[in-house]
């Protein structure tokens, strides 16, 4: 994306302000662990569409390597599913997304696809906040085959694209999972995006087996 394109993007208005918070980062940054902790606290969460697409294709008998080998098709499927997923959500609901639509931009660029097809869809909804988690040591699993250099580039690209779209990215440092949860909710409480009671509940809930109530809307 050249300098002129960045300027044009910043002048583009968003259609709807949402109450959605994005949890993202490079491969193996701990975001899904954090999403799971948020769900345990009763918050509404949205799972990662990329993993859903890969698992769906593997269930058809394809290997992970085969899915990634056809990277362009995979990227388009993920973008399409992410777009449809976000279109079904209510803008007023307080929820946390495991990655979001702008997260497709680094993959489109890496694969030489037209980024503008993703950018055009990024202005339907404006996210309330964006958290990018600092990287953890890379651990490969059935849906991860990238190396460490790739995930560092992905991390940098996410910071770049979200910044270009006008978001003030919040970096989440490497901490034990519970402390990362508290870090995120404290940041949101400072901005008035969750109540102090909701933010403070995490430390007390970590010492209690009492289920927390659902906080699906605000």
**Dihedral of the CA atoms 118, 121, 190, 24 (nearest 10)?**
-30
Handedness of CA 25, 81, 105, 97 (dihedral sign): negative
Domain limits, the chain:
3-205
Structure confidence at residue 83 (pLDDT): 97
Structure confidence at residue 140 (pLDDT): 59
Structure confidence at residue 181 (pLDDT): 97
Could you list the pLDDT tens digit for every one of the 218 residues in the chain? 655 455 455 546 899 999 999 999 998 899 999 999 999 999 999 999 999 999 999 999 999 889 888 999 999 999 999 999 999 999 999 999 999 999 999 999 999 999 999 999 999 999 999 999 999 887 655 554 456 788 889 999 999 999 999 999 999 999 999 999 999 999 999 988 887 767 766 655 554 443 333 444 44
**CATH code reported for the domain at 3-205:** 3.40.50.300
Residue 164, both tokens: 């270009």
* pTM for this model (two decimals): 0.83
Structure confidence at residue 212 (pLDDT): 38
State the DSSP H helix or E strand holding residue 16, giving kind and residue range, or none if neither: strand 16-17
């Amino acid at each position: 994306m050249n300098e002129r394109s960045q300027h044009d993007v910043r002048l583009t208005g968003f259609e709807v302000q949402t109450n959605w918070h994005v949890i993202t980062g490079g491969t193996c940054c701990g975001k899904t662990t954090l999403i799971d902790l948020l769900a345990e606290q009763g918050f509404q969460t949205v799972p990662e569409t990329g993993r859903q697409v890969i698992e769906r294709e593997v269930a058809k008998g394809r290997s992970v390597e085969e899915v990634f080998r056809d990277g362009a098709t995979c990227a388009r499927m993920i973008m399409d599913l992410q777009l449809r997923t976000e279109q079904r959500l209510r803008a007023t609901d307080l929820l946390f997304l495991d990655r979001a639509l702008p997260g497709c931009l680094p993959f489109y660029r890496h694969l030489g696809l037209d980024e503008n097809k993703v950018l055009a869809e990024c202005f339907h909804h404006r996210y309330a906040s964006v958290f990018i988690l600092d990287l953890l040591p890379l651990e490969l699993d059935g849906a991860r085959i990238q190396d460490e250099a790739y995930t560092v580039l992905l991390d940098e690209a996410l910071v770049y694209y979200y910044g270009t779209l006008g978001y003030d990215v919040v970096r989440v440092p490497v901490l034990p999972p519970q402390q990362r949860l508290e870090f995120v909710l404290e940041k949101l409480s400072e901005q008035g995006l969750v109540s102090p009671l909701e933010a403070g509940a995490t430390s007390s809930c970590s010492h209690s087996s009492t289920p927390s109530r659902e906080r699906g809307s605000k």
